[in-house]
């Protein structure tokens, strides 16, 4: 019988600690130096063990912060009214968002068709990452008709919430007209945003939101980290 590699034994030991509740979801693991001292190995061996746990979705790393035990999957209902903050709060977690892009540019033909604009009409593009308890669960791109929502970029930056920003500009309610789901694998850029490995499974959602009169107000694309989110198709009023 082949001898188990040291890094694999360390990974198994840490996995057992997590399963026993010694480290709970969201807890930061000891540093590489501390783990190396505990197991009597060099940091490279510890790093190999942690990488194996990350590959299995047991832990995830945050640049400059350390390695953390993965949170339980976030229950995320998809229905007529999809609200990120509301969904995450209902799952017992704390929502937050990092906005990485807020730019007004000309619409392409598909965006214009979906939003009932003329090709080339200005749209506001908002991109970022949605987090639950500080862990990335989704990357998103939202596209809005810029002429209808002047000041939306500033409102999103201020509130960190698209729903609150739209409400501040007079749109207090909107509903989901359609959602298309596609499974894919994370490319290097998406993997970096979600703090997952390249090639990790993600679920892409392309959705159109409309106002009470049925006029499209948002074309949204969201890439959910497959191991961190449970999507539920739910009937909502």
Tell me: the pLDDT tens digits for 13-25? 998 888 788 988 8
What's the average model confidence in pLDDT over 24-40?
92
What's the average model confidence in pLDDT over 120-135?
92
Q: Which residues contact 229 (CB under 8 A, 6 or more apart)?
A: 73, 74, 76, 137, 138, 203
Tell me: the pLDDT tens digits for 38-83? 999 999 999 999 998 887 778 888 778 899 887 777 778 787 877 7
Domain ranges, ordered by start, for the chain: 6-69, 74-233
Look-up of token digits 């989704």: 138
Per the CB < 8 A criterion, the answer to whether 80 and 35 are in contact is no
Q: Which residues contact 103 (CB under 8 A, 6 or more apart)?
A: 124, 125
Tell me: the pLDDT tens digits for 179-219? 999 999 999 999 889 888 788 889 999 999 999 999 999 99
- Report the candidate in 102, 141, 109 with the shortest Cα–Cα distance to residue 124: 102
Regarding the domain delimited by 74-233, which CATH topology (the fold level of the hierarchy) does it fall under? Chorismate lyase (3.40.1410)
C-alpha dist (Å) from residue 189 to 29, 51, 102, 154, 223: 26, 19, 18, 26, 12
- Write out the H or E segment, with its range, that includes residue 181: strand 175-185
Q: What are phi and psi of 192, to 5 degrees?
A: -65, -45
Q: Is 16 exposed, middle or buried (0-12, 13-18, 19+ CB in 10 A)?
A: exposed
pLDDT band for position 1 (cuts 50, 70, 90):
very low
Q: What are phi and psi of 211, to 5 degrees?
A: -80, 180
Return the CATH number of 6-69, one of 1.10.540.10, 2.60.40.3620, 1.10.10.10, 1.10.287.610: 1.10.10.10
- Could you tell me the two tokens for 82? 């999809």
Buried b / exposed e over 39-62, threshold 16 CB at 10 Å, is bebeeebbebbbebbbeebbbbee
Q: Is the pLDDT of residue 236 over 70?
A: no
Q: Give the predicted TM-score (pTM) of the model.
A: 0.73
């Amino acid at each position: 019988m082949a001898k188990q590699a040291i890094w694999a034994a360390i990974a198994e030991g840490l996995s057992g600690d997590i399963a026993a509740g010694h480290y709970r979801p969201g807890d930061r693991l000891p540093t590489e130096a501390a783990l190396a001292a505990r197991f009597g190995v060099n940091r490279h061996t510890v790093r190999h063990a942690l990488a194996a746990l990350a590959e299995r979705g047991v832990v995830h790393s945050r640049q400059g912060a350390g390695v953390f035990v993965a949170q339980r999957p976030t229950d995320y209902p998809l229905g007529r009214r999809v609200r990120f903050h509301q969904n995450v709060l209902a799952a017992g977690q704390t929502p937050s968002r990092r906005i990485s892009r807020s730019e007004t540019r000309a619409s392409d033909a598909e965006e214009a068709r979906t939003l009932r604009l003329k090709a080339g009409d200005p749209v506001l593009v908002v991109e970022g990452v949605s987090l639950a308890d500080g862990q990335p669960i989704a990357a998103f791109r939202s596209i809005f008709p810029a002429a209808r929502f002047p000041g939306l970029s500033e409102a999103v930056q201020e509130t960190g919430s698209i729903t609150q920003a739209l409400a501040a500009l007079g749109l207090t309610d909107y509903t989901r007209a359609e959602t298309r789901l596609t499974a894919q694998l994370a490319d290097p850029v998406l993997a970096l945003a979600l703090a997952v490995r390249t090639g990790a499974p993600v679920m892409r959602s392309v959705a159109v939101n409309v106002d009470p009169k049925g006029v499209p107000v948002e074309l949204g694309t969201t890439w959910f980290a497959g191991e961190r989110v449970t999507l539920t198709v739910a009937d909502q009023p």
